[in-house]
Amino acid sequence: MTTPGPDDPASFWNEKFNQTEYRYGTSPNAFVEATLPEKLTAGASVLCVGDGEGRNGVWCAEQGFETTSIEPSSVGAQKIKALAEKRGVEVSVICDRMPSDAVEANRFDAVVLTFIHAPPEIRRQIHSASIEALAPGGLLVLEAFTPAQRENNRPSGGPPSLALLFTPEMLQEDFEELEISQLSEEVVELDEGAGHRGPADVVRLIARKPVAAHK
């Protein structure tokens, strides 16, 4: 197995996404699907970071959210546009990696990150840029694999390198300026295309940017 190239996520993911099938399916991540509708109103602006082939972004647009997806892989970005067109919704697609000058600060009512694994320095940059993108009072929803995913030899997805996996402690530190309402380690049953299928060790985070914070 290869390790995602932190310096060139576009090439790594172009290769993975260069197939007709949607690697993680075309339905939203279950945690995102369960969390967003009860916390956002129609018309809310949502940024899906590393939206891959668009399963979360397209679903967000279908909920009536004004949706932007940022995805470094040009193949992924094209698949997001194709999925949005097929489902008859609008998603604004930025083909870039985070942090990106194309993402406006203090702009989004919600930021979604599912399985955006990266080595520590890049992880911190992605998370800091995600905080910056949030409007005051905005919601951040994140799911990622923990080291237990590898320790338990689970074949349900995630990078092979322990250094790319996330612990609750890392997230507590990265998102310390947010008001965290959930930070939990869980074993969940993934059913997300061929890429994520079966029992999985994940960490789930729900947090809000304080209204007073202006970063």
Ligand X SMILES: C[S@@+](CC[C@H](N)C(=O)[O-])C[C@H]1O[C@@H](n2cnc3c(N)ncnc32)[C@H](O)[C@@H]1O
Interface positions with ligand X (CB under 6 A): 9, 13, 24, 29, 49-52, 55, 70-73, 76, 97-98, 114-116, 118, 126
If the CB atoms of residues 163 and 211 are measured against ligand X, the closer one turns out to be 163
Residues 6+ apart with CB under 8 A from 60: 28, 32, 36, 46, 48, 67, 91, 112
CB of 132 to ligand X, least distance (A): 13
CB of 50 to ligand X, least distance (A): 3
If the CB atoms of residues 92 and 179 are measured against ligand X, the closer one turns out to be 92
Q: In the block, which residue shows the tokens 């997806």?
A: 69
Cβ burial of 64 (10 Å; 0-12, 13-18, 19+) is middle
CB of 212 to ligand X, least distance (A): 28
Q: Is 185 helix (H, G, I), strand (E, B) or coil?
A: strand
If the CB atoms of residues 17 and 138 are measured against ligand X, the closer one turns out to be 17
Is residue 115 within 8 A of residue 188, CB to CB? The reply is no
CB of 208 to ligand X, least distance (A): 21
User: Hey, which residues does 141 pair with through a beta bridge?
Assistant: 112, 206
If the CB atoms of residues 33 and 179 are measured against ligand X, the closer one turns out to be 33
CB of 203 to ligand X, least distance (A): 14
Q: Read out DSSP for 132-177?
A: HHEEEEEEEEEEEE-THHHHTT--S---S-GGGS--HHHHHHHTTT
CB of 211 to ligand X, least distance (A): 27
If the CB atoms of residues 9 and 138 are measured against ligand X, the closer one turns out to be 9
- State which amino acid sits at residue 23: R
If the CB atoms of residues 3 and 210 are measured against ligand X, the closer one turns out to be 3
Q: Read out DSSP for 1-18?
A: -PPP-TT-HHHHHHHHH-
